[in-house]
Structure 1
């Protein structure tokens, strides 16, 4: 767990800590709902019945994909995931974007420094994400070998923090 926290904080340092203290009174879901570029994520959270969980005490670290990240998924596949019969699969994907604890970018930076540019994160669904430093920023590598750049860090909420990513990461 310490390793996971350190990794996330490293990301923040490398991307320039951009804390949004004005959002401290809002929980993770309220912050997501207030950002237009998270509308697909919010729709998916509702379909997976995860809104209540992410309104909980936490703390949580959420790697939140923007709408353009969801748009890279085949539309038929995405629409199928949003159907009630695929709730378990959607839940597994969404909880793969969440880490227990509040991992600020400075924690991630420290973990990356300690791990020679790599740090492993354990997600709420039990899967692993690898945070890696590259020349142009910090990336997450998912279980399928796909990459997602962390484009903004440290969007704070009352029950955790959101780091914005450019693509949806996928578990096995």
Structure 2
């Protein structure tokens, strides 16, 4: 994907989130009422195998080294979206530009066979990209978004995000459970246990 299209994709994603309002980033005082660890959206530590440290670098590395989200990484590559995740804020190279909810390999394996086969057919590249963009949010997920119960995705559609009553588990669309996360130079990868499918995909 050329730089112009990449820039347009980032602007579109950022604009979609701006449409639902600007929120303060998750902070410890706010999370006190949630009883949920801030580390899920602001994990500590750096990357270990990625050359450039970006989300794209982590996706590249996943195909070579990781087992937990290799299928997602391969899907991003097949859809031609990998280069989008190499973008950095020139003024602040370590700024979180994306939160990527990456389904685990087990999550992809659990998809109905017919759906999985359709998604990876060359003629359905746009639909695969739509599914992947449904797992991407601009910037960091905010406390206000968790309170409101919705985040806006790069697919142009909202995704439901909900904290359980015990305050120790986040779910997406009442189905996918947030498991763990890792920080990259330009974003956060959050592992989830189910692939989220946009309405009316096929």
The reply to whether residue 2 of structure 1 matches residue 31 of structure 2 is no
User: Which residue, out of 32, 35, 39, partners 1:17?
Assistant: 39
C-alpha displacement of 1:77: 2.0
Q: Measured at CA, do residues 5 and 170 of structure 1 come closer, stay the same or move farther in structure 2, by a change above 3 Å?
A: farther
- The answer to whether the 8 A contact 2:180-2:190 is kept is yes
Q: 1:99 is paired with a residue of what secondary structure?
A: strand
Moved over 3 A (4+): 3-6
Q: Which runs of 5+ in 1 are unaligned?
A: none
Higher relative contact order (CA 8 A, sep 6+): 1
How far is 1:62 from its partner? 0.4
Structure of greater Rg:
2
TM-score, normalisation: structure 2: 0.68
Cα distance in 1 for partners of 2:133, 2:24 equals 16
In 2: Cα distance, 1:122 partner to 1:160 partner:
16
Q: Decide whether aligned partners of structure 1 residues 68 and 52 sit closer, same or farther in structure 2, where only a CA change above 3 A counts.
A: same
The 5 Å alignment of 1:104-143 reads: 107-108=142-143, 111-112=145-146, 115=147, 118-134=148-164, 135=166, 136-141=168-173
Alignment length, in residue pairs? 157
Query: What RMSD in Å do the two structures reach over aligned CA positions?
Result: 2.8
Distance, in Å, in 2 between the alignment partners of 1:5 and 1:74 is 36
Q: Distance in 1 between matches of 2:77 and 2:105?
A: 15
TM-score (norm 1): 0.78
Say which structure is richer in strand: 1
Matched, 1:67 2:105: yes
Alignment of 1:26-65 (within 5 A): 26-32=53-59, 33-34=61-62, 35-57=66-88, 59-65=97-103
